[in-house]
Amino acid sequence: MSKILITGSCGLVGSESSLFFSKKGYEILGIDNNARKFFFGKDGDTLWLKSKLQKNLKNYVHFNVDIRNFDSLKKIFKKYKKEISLIIHCAAQPSHDWAKNKPFIDFDINARGTLNLLELTKIYCPESPFIFMSTNKVYGDNPNFLPLIENKTRWELKKNHKYFKGIDETMSLDNCTHSFFGASKVYADLVVQEYGKNIGLKTACFRAGCITGPNHSAAELHGFLSYLVKKSIKFKKYNLIGYKGKQVRDNIHSYDLVNCFWEFFKKPKFGEIYNTGGGRFSNCSILEAISIIEKITGIKIKKKIIKTNRVGDHIWYISSMSKFKKHYPRWKQHYSTQKIIKELIDQLSF
């Protein structure tokens, strides 16, 4: 049986990938050491999802391995070698705020961990596609320099602006503030491209906006939409941090994202980059997300505005998926923001 190696297999995208490719008949080699609990405490604990995968997937093999540990990773790659048909690298330290306080750990996980995996792919399974879960934060706060207009519930661009339908891959990574998390992910993103363009691995960076879904172990510092739904319903209040709560995110369901991976896997390219998000099909501001929750549940949520914004936070970010759709026209998007929030509410239990 062909194997799919997935790092961060108990996270949102990793678990969705595990379920998806298991159903396709592949054996899953899941690498996850529950670092989210270390980052975010109880809210970030992914042991429940590990148990779910091990219980429901007969072809799932779990490795409690830290991606910073080259020798431990090497044992896995050396054992399975060319049986590994695909590498999906989702493991990361994903928080701006956390990275600022612990920049060495953040860099080692996001940068060195990615380099470890690329080098082992080159040695043991060089024909296998390598998918990297990158982030729109590689663009730093450059999106904040767009000529944004303040509307009643959101910041917005004029319809004649070249990025109105979404920010594409031409946006610069330079001359901006990234956050330490953004900087470590920039290195990882660039080195993934380099192993594709320089060495010839079949690599792709998916620069995602807000990824969400019911398997998200969301915490205050990471997991915007899932955390917002969970906390606002439980406590009937929510803090709007910066920009009056009008900052806009596009939201892509993990299932739609993993279907992107499937299309790339079937027809891989070398050193590609793809902006990946909900686009104009699925986006909202924080205020709009709260309004959707109130309409679905009938709960009135008290909003507290905190004027100081997070460093590197985007005021408006909607992804253009035109490049990916051009390369892979069979991909279809299924989840709108309304549908995503409804699903997040339905699966809540307190």
Q: According to the model, what pLDDT value does residue 218 have?
A: 56
Digit-coded pLDDT (tens) for 152-199: 999 999 999 999 999 999 999 999 999 899 999 999 999 999 999 999
Alpha carbons 116 and 118: distance in angstroms, whole number: 6
Note whether 32 and 8 are within 8 A (CB). Answer: yes
Identify which has the larger pLDDT, 98 or 219.
Answer: 98
- Percentage of the residues of the chain whose pLDDT score is greater than 90: 84
At position 119, the amino acid (one-letter code) is E
- 312: confidence class by pLDDT, cuts 50, 70, 90: low
Note whether 221 and 180 are within 8 A (CB). Answer: no
Note whether 66 and 31 are within 8 A (CB). Answer: no
- 3-state SS, one letter per residue, for 177-232: CCCHHHHHHHHHHHHHHHHHHCCCCCEEEEEECEEECCCCCCECCECHHHHHHHHH
Task: Sketch the domain layout of the chain as residue ranges.
Answer: 3-346
The token duo for 201 is 């691995």
Q: According to the model, what pLDDT value does residue 217 have?
A: 63
Q: Which CATH superfamily is domain 3-346 in?
A: NAD(P)-binding Rossmann-like Domain (3.40.50.720)
Residues 6+ positions from 5 with CB-CB distance below 8 Å: 29, 31, 76, 77, 80, 84, 86, 87, 88
Q: According to the model, what pLDDT value does residue 42 have?
A: 85
Note whether 274 and 208 are within 8 A (CB). Answer: no
Closest CA relative to residue 10, chosen from 57, 49, 45: 49
What φ, ψ does residue 40 adopt, rounded to 5°? -120, 5
Q: According to the model, what pLDDT value does residue 227 have?
A: 83
Digit-coded pLDDT (tens) for 291-306: 999 999 999 999 999 9
CA end-to-end distance (rounded Å), the chain: 40
Alpha carbons 95 and 11: distance in angstroms, whole number: 14
Alpha carbons 250 and 282: distance in angstroms, whole number: 6
- In the numeric block, the tokens 């194997």 are attached to 3
The token duo for 106 is 């953040």
Q: How far is CA 261 from the centre of its chain?
A: 13
The token duo for 318 is 């909607």
Identify which has the larger pLDDT, 313 or 67.
Answer: 67
Residues 6+ positions from 12 with CB-CB distance below 8 Å: 211, 212, 213, 215, 216, 217, 223, 254
Q: Over 70: is that where the pLDDT of 243 sits?
A: yes
Closest CA relative to residue 248, chosen from 284, 222, 221, 224: 284
Note whether 307 and 242 are within 8 A (CB). Answer: yes
Residues 6+ positions from 326 with CB-CB distance below 8 Å: none
